[in-house]
């Protein structure tokens, strides 16, 4: 989790790429990349970012346990945060977490239904738009 304490270079690189892109920008982050993107968008106003798409990200969980240095638990996302946030998670991925219930009204969750087959068959991912807890019931 070195990014949480020493991730400024990564955040700067993401911001530089956003600055070079033509708006509207869709910022996509997988796993730790989702944490870095959230961290950046909390710390800096980047109005050209129309959508944050996180996949398999632990950012909502780190927020709940108050482990995100950029955003203390209970603060909520700043007004300048991305216009929309879609968070895709897989309930079978222990490191993936829902964002919709955690950031009510600011994030929408989708699940990925992944069918992995051997012998050259394809992997299929189907996002949905409903929020469903990823922990066991």
What confidence score (pLDDT) does residue 95 get? 83
What is the chain's pLDDT, residue by residue, as a tens digit (137 residues)?
556 667 899 999 999 999 999 999 999 999 999 999 999 999 999 999 999 999 999 999 999 999 998 999 999 999 999 999 999 998 888 888 999 999 999 999 998 764 333 333 344 444 443 333 333 33
CATH topology of domain 2-111: Rossmann fold (3.40.50)
What confidence score (pLDDT) does residue 5 get? 64
What confidence score (pLDDT) does residue 36 get? 95
Sequence spans of domains, the chain: 2-111
What confidence score (pLDDT) does residue 85 get? 97
> Burial code of 38-55, b = ≥16 C-beta within 10 A, e = fewer?
bbbbbbeebeebeebbbb
- C-alpha–C-alpha distance, residues 103 and 110, integer Å: 14
Residue 131's contacts (CB-CB under 8 Å, 6 or more residues apart) are: 98, 100, 101, 108, 109
Residue 112's contacts (CB-CB under 8 Å, 6 or more residues apart) are: 55, 88, 89, 90, 125, 126, 127
What letter does residue 135 receive in the DSSP assignment?
Answer: S
> Burial code of 66-105, b = ≥16 C-beta within 10 A, e = fewer?
eebebbeeeeebeeebbeebbbbbbbeeeebbbbbebbee
């Amino acid at each position: 989790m070195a990014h949480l304490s020493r991730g400024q270079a990564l955040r700067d690189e993401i911001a530089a790429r956003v600055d070079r892109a033509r708006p509207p920008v869709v910022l996509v982050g997988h796993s730790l990349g989702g944490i870095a993107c959230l961290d950046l968008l909390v710390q800096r106003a980047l109005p050209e970012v129309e959508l944050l798409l996180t996949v398999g990200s632990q950012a909502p969980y780190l927020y709940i346990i108050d482990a995100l240095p950029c955003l203390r638990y209970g603060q909520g996302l700043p007004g300048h945060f991305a216009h929309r946030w879609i968070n895709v998670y897989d309930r079978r991925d222990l490191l993936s977490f829902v964002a919709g219930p955690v950031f009510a009204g600011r994030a929408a969750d989708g699940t990925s239904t992944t069918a992995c087959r051997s012998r050259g068959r394809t992997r299929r991912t189907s996002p949905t738009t409903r929020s469903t807890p990823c922990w066991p019931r």
